[in-house]
Structure 1
Amino acid sequence: MTISSCTKDRVTHGHPCFGGNRHKNGRIHLAVAPRCNIKCGYCDRKHDCANESRPGVTSRLLSPQEALEQVRSTMADEQLGKVIKVIGIAGPGDPLANEETFETFRLVKAEFPELLFCMSTNGLLLPERLKDLAKINLHSLTVTINALDPAVGAQVYRHVIYHGTHYRGEEGAAILIKNQFKGVRLAAEQGLVVKVNTVLTPGINDSQIPLIADKVSEYGAFVMNVMPIIPQAELAHVAPPSPEYLETVRAANEQIISQFRGCQQCRADAVGLIGGGCSL
């Protein structure tokens, strides 16, 4: 199955993270997925956090029913209800590792079928959970891929928990990378519009980015988002790329796959327009 023109048009015109008008189209991130199955060296997840704006943080975790109530109240709001086009689940853990993700989408879909449904994932469980994504009518998917070479991946990922077993180093990175690329290919074949996020970590994965771009393009990804590392946790010592270097990397890969440049590295509970959203 390939991406239908109808689905692709809805996503690219309605989703602000896939090329839609970010000044008119907004999103709700529902923070219903607390658990994660990998540990990225740059990740520092925080709950009950109101003063940071970055992935992995949320003011509070929601149950699926609480998430539905938030969607109801947001869509009923005189201002926000006019701009919200997308329901997304992006953490604070990995959505595919949490059954609350699927229950939330089922609840919201029943009441708001007109909205676009989106998810961000590390991709570890993507190949085996695609059938579940099909049931909830997911429209778009973002997969974060930071390496093609397991030796490089081992510098980014501290561990991988796969089917109950902890893997470290290159062994864990190899499992993750294999599933990520397989998941991208299968998701595109299933008809999802796929975006690939890559965290540019200078001195570690610079050389991997054109390799990732080439492979995900071959596998059917629609767009790539090269984003700067936010130094923290085990990779707090890494200097983030300058805006000029970030743009150089994006431009160098533009001919391989389209590059998204509007990412604000949003919180797991962001609401509203990108760049002007709030947290509820």
Structure 2
Amino acid sequence: MATACEMKKKIQGHPCFGGNHQKNGRMHLAVAPKCNIKCGYCSRKHDCANESRPGVTSRIMTPMEAISKVREVMASPIAGPIIKVVGIAGPGDPLANEETFTTFEMVKQEFPQLMLCLSTNGLLLPESIDRLYELGLHSLTVTINAMDPQVGAQIYSHIIYHGKHYTGVEGAKILIANQFEGVKRAGELGMTIKINTVLTPGINDGQIPLIAARVKELGAFVMNIMPIIPQAELAHITPPSEEYLAEIRKANEGTIGQFAHCKQCRADAIGLIGQDLNLTIAEAACPTR
């Protein structure tokens, strides 16, 4: 397991792990449409919606289209110099899509200087971690919202695991076990790990200190506590205030480092955090709604 000092050196240049997010940018490739779980706060749209949040993309790309996009962006005098990271974060779960691995292979071969980054719900992480390691994955983000399956069942309605549907507590139990096993194995391999946790007031508030302590023990470097964006089955939830979010982060910073610059980016985000170059491109390409 890598030391904290080694991790700090590794994240230099990665804006989503604590690197300089005002100078270093990232590029998300939306090549992963399929998902294997259903989160109550998730509403995925593959259109040109003028919004910035996970699950939104202008369109799904094939791996060949993705590498062409990387070439285009890296050749741009505006975007090219600032892009340090190529990530796959959806709009589904990257590990449920073989296109993820194909795309990373091509990016690694043609642009070896770019960091490879992946964000996953963790269901397939234990069985995928060796492939990711062999690809030279630089950074791994795992979204973990609960330790208790009873709580998880209030957030996840079902999972699809090896062709079978599991609902409620049964599904949450499998998902949570795989998430922590995947983080454990990634930590043993020395990967740079960030944990995303969606703060859902009234549901998982009490789980966050437990998650923070466990993932730190397993080798995670930083935690990103994000406010829920109420929609879908959890549209009735009132999101946390900025003050409450700051309070929760502060309460856990003694356990694990807290990342507070997240803007809950689109699955096709390009550029600096908070300055999405691709959103402008998407707006120009879409008819007025």
CA distance in 2, matches of 1:3, 1:213: 18
CA distance in 2, matches of 1:156, 1:98: 23
Q: Secondary structure at the match of 2:273?
A: coil
CA distance in 1, matches of 2:116, 2:201: 33
CA deviation after TM superposition for structure 1 residue 178, in Å: 0.2
2:285 corresponds to: none
1:168 corresponds to: 167
Q: Secondary structure at the match of 1:13?
A: coil
Q: Secondary structure at the match of 1:14?
A: coil
Does residue 190 of structure 2 align to residue 191 of structure 1? yes
CA deviation after TM superposition for structure 1 residue 153, in Å: 0.1
CA distance in 2, matches of 1:135, 1:7: 20
Does residue 190 of structure 2 align to residue 221 of structure 1? no
Range with bigger deviation, 45-54 or 220-229: 45-54
CA deviation after TM superposition for structure 1 residue 8, in Å: 2.9
Deviations 1:35-73 (A, max 9, x none): 000000000000023311100010000000100000000
Change beyond 3 A, Cα 1:255–1:5: closer
1:76 corresponds to: 75
2:209 corresponds to: 210
- What do you get for the CA RMSD once the two structures are aligned? 1.2
- Contiguous gaps of at least 5 residues in structure 2: 282-289
Change beyond 3 A, Cα 1:7–1:27: farther
Deviations 1:219-256 (A, max 9, x none): 11000000000000000000000000000000000111
Matched AA of 1:277: D
CA deviation after TM superposition for structure 1 residue 139, in Å: 0.6
Does residue 95 of structure 2 align to residue 96 of structure 1? yes
CA deviation after TM superposition for structure 1 residue 4, in Å: 7.4
CA deviation after TM superposition for structure 1 residue 135, in Å: 2.0
Matched AA of 1:27: R
CA distance in 2, matches of 1:4, 1:28: 28
Does residue 144 of structure 2 align to residue 145 of structure 1? yes
2:43 corresponds to: 44
CA distance in 2, matches of 1:41, 1:168: 12
Q: How many residues align?
A: 279
Change beyond 3 A, Cα 1:7–1:226: same
CA deviation after TM superposition for structure 1 residue 90, in Å: 0.2
CA deviation after TM superposition for structure 1 residue 136, in Å: 1.2
Q: Secondary structure at the match of 2:216?
A: helix
CA distance in 2, matches of 1:128, 1:265: 27
1:110 corresponds to: 109
Range with bigger deviation, 94-103 or 128-137: 128-137
CA deviation after TM superposition for structure 1 residue 6, in Å: 9.3
1:157 corresponds to: 156
2:65 corresponds to: 66
Report the TM-score, using the length of structure 2 for normalisation: 0.94
Does residue 261 of structure 2 align to residue 259 of structure 1? no
Deviations 1:165-206 (A, max 9, x none): 000000000000000001011001112100000000000000
- Contiguous gaps of at least 5 residues in structure 1: none
CA distance in 2, matches of 1:51, 1:100: 26
Change beyond 3 A, Cα 1:20–1:247: same
Report the TM-score, using the length of structure 1 for normalisation: 0.97
CA deviation after TM superposition for structure 1 residue 125, in Å: 0.3
- Alignment check: 8 A CA contact 1:11 1:20 kept: no
1:28 corresponds to: 27
- Alignment check: 8 A CA contact 2:7 2:221 kept: no
CA distance in 2, matches of 1:212, 1:223: 12
CA distance in 2, matches of 1:5, 1:135: 23
Deviations 1:104-128 (A, max 9, x none): 0000110000110000000000000
Matched AA of 1:74: V
Q: Secondary structure at the match of 2:101?
A: helix
Matched AA of 2:219: G
Matched AA of 1:87: V
Change beyond 3 A, Cα 1:208–1:6: closer
Change beyond 3 A, Cα 1:5–1:250: closer
Range with bigger deviation, 118-127 or 182-191: 182-191
2:11 corresponds to: 12
CA distance in 2, matches of 1:197, 1:11: 19
CA deviation after TM superposition for structure 1 residue 9, in Å: 4.5
Matched AA of 1:82: P
